[in-house]
Amino acid sequence: MRVTACGLVVAGLLAAGACTATEPPQADAPASAPAGNATTAERAAPASPGAAAGTPALTVEQAQAALIGESDLGVPWTATDGTATWHDGLLKAATGQPDCQRLLEALYTDELLGAPAGPQAATALDDGDDAAQLRYQVDASHSADVDRTLAWLRALPRICAQFTAQTTAAGTAAVRVADAGLRDFGDARQGLRITLTAQPSAADDPTILTLDVAVVRVGDDAIVLTAGALGTLPDDTTEQALDIGVRRLAQVREQGRAQA
């Protein structure tokens, strides 16, 4: 079965934002799914208070240039065909625990960082051999905002280590959240390994969705990566993508300074 990537961020594309740390989300799951073609949210980038003096905010063009592509990861990764077949059925889910609900909503809407503070670009890739998908996003943000998200993510392996959620199409899912143990990418980072196991009925085989989620801050910029598969994720995909992506973002920034 070919699994296609989750929808991508663009102005007007994502119908529901992730909840803020001070305002717990409603128990209802998000109402709409994102679309599936890589694109960029084009908007003016406000000056970032956390940026070093003289460092301009990331532009739309720079965010696009900092994306990774299928040639970076090699075979069998290809450009996405659209929304993952399991996206609505497993990620559109509800639980009674506010932080865990916030996590589910952020995964469903691809808004781990909340509403964008400036330009952002996103792309998605499919691995048909492993029924896997990867979504990669570059955001112009504020360092303090990203650090608050990182602090929340670091707490989730304790707060949401194990919980149950009611999915829209696969019954009750058992969810596990663990620290992914990322290497020292960028200035700050946090990764999670999330496993959802659903069994609609005793006669059905369990459906297991494995997700690697990572947020990396590089100065005031942020990289958000989600890689998922029905079963086992390809080895080292997340760290390979982050290693390439962090270096590419640094190169884009350096080129921008040289041209200024």
Q: Which tops the pLDDT comparison, 132 or 54? A: 132
SS3 of the chain: helix, strand, coil, percent, to 5? 25, 30, 45
- More confident site: 169 or 33: 169
Higher pLDDT among residues 118 and 67, named by residue = 67
pLDDT level of residue 192 (50, 70, 90 thresholds): very high
**DSSP H/E element including 191:** strand 188-198
Residue 25 has pLDDT above 90, yes or no: no
**Concatenated DSSP letters for 227-246?**
EEEES-PPTTHHHHHHHHHH
CA distances from 122 to 8, 108, 119, 163, 242 (A): 6, 15, 10, 30, 14
Highest mean predicted confidence (pLDDT) among 15-19, 46-50, 82-86: 82-86
Position 200, amino acid: P
Quick one: CA dihedral 102, 82, 207, 89, positive or negative?
Answer: positive
Look at 116 and 7; give whichever has higher pLDDT: 116
Give the pLDDT band of residue 55 (cuts 50, 70, 90): low
Please say whether the beta carbons of 2 and 77 come within 8 A: no
> What is the domain class of 55-259 according to CATH?
alpha beta
More confident residue, 9 or 226: 226
Once rounded to an integer, what is the mean pLDDT over residues 47-53? 41
Burial of 184 (0-12, 13-18, 19+ CB in 10 A): exposed
Share of the chain above pLDDT 90, in %: 58
Element (H, E) at 176: strand 172-179
Buried b (16+ CB within 10 A) or exposed e, 216-252: bbbbbbbbbbbbbbbeebbeebbbebbeebbebbeeb
pLDDT tens-place string over residues 117-159 = 889 999 999 998 888 899 999 999 899 999 999 999 999 999 9
Task: Compute the average pLDDT of residues 107-123.
Answer: 91
d(CA 136, CA 150): 17
Higher pLDDT, 202 or 158: 158
Lowest-confidence region among 18-22, 106-110, 236-240: 18-22
Q: How confident is the model at residue 258 (pLDDT cuts 50, 70, 90)?
A: low
Q: Across all residues in the chain, what is the average pLDDT?
A: 80
